[in-house]
Amino acid sequence: MPEVDYKELKKGGFMRQVQKDHFSLRLRIVGGQIQAGQLQKVYEIAREYGQGDIHMTSRQSIEIPFIKLKDIDAVKKELTEAGLQPGACGPRVRTITACQGGAICPSGLIDTAVLAREFDQKYYARELPHKFKLGITGCRNNCLKAEENDLGVKGGVKPEWGMDKCNFCGLCEAVCPEKSIRLDQENRKLELNTRTCNDCGRCVKVCPVEAWVGQSGFIVYFGGLFGNRIAIGKQLFPIVFSTEVLHQVIETTLHFFQQYAKPSERFRNTLDRVGWELLEKELKEVVK
């Protein structure tokens, strides 16, 4: 009997269990989205090849435990027929996570589903010194906790106020979480403190006369870590509005990690060791 390459199986989404010759199969799920027919296939595989159990992971993926070693090829075949794939494990870019975003959620400021598919196509399973997590959240409500990821993206809006349309109702001042808006109704004046504004876009959302407008963009965080060590990701530059620039930022970051990381070193630990200023210097060439 040929020797089992457990490392290769894990790379392909089949992770060893404590039970001999049994594996938990992790699926490739993009942004938490799966078709109903594919979900039906997951159910069928869990019933036929597992023990009827399905695990929803902390990163929006699905795992089917108790897949037998002898059934792995058959399971792969059924997954392919349903348009499903095993997920990536090990030292590479992992499953892309995303909230429902502006296409569905009233609070959303960016289309997270479209962005998640772009991230999946460009970066998923790319080989790196250690695992690397990308997460996308649609607004400041931060359902996907952008700061927990190695690189997290949060939707934002840079607001602009138009005096001619404003009826000075005071709603924008009332909803601003940072108290960055000061309204003088008597003299019909408004001040926006751009230094304290967090680009949440609530003033734009709440305005009944469209006096507030704004361009949606991406707030990017680096170096989040929520494993054996806990660390909050940092925002290194202001909101960016171009998806082209966003992808250049990600490519620069992944190349930096590949270049400077030691084997089995998480991205945050690399940054702390070599210095954040080194990454900031490289990013300045991209975000101008």
Residue the block writes with tokens 């709603």:
171
Exposure of 32 by Cβ count < 10 A (0-12 exposed, 13-18 middle, 19+ buried)? buried
Q: Residue 100: which region, alpha, beta or left (left: phi > 0; alpha: psi -120 to 50)?
A: alpha
Cβ atoms of residues 237 and 285 within 8 Å: no
Residue 54, pLDDT score: 97
What domains are there in the chain, each with its CATH number?
6-81 (3.30.70.3340), 97-156+210-284 (3.30.413.10)
Neighbours of 69 (CB within 10 A): 15
* 40 vs 42: CA distance, rounded Å: 5
* 168 vs 170: CA distance, rounded Å: 5
Among 116, 108, 57, CA closest to 87: 57
Q: Judging by DSSP bridges, how do beta strands 181-184 and 225-226 pair with one another?
A: unpaired
Q: Model's pTM, two decimal places?
A: 0.93
Amino acid at 201: G
Residue 1, pLDDT score: 54
Residue 287, pLDDT score: 94
Q: Judging by DSSP bridges, how do beta strands 22-26 and 14-16 pair with one another?
A: antiparallel
**What are the per-10-residue average pLDDT scores of the chain (288 residues)?**
85 95 96 96 98 95 97 96 94 96 96 98 97 97 96 97 95 97 94 96 96 97 94 97 98 98 97 98 93
Residue count (the chain): 288
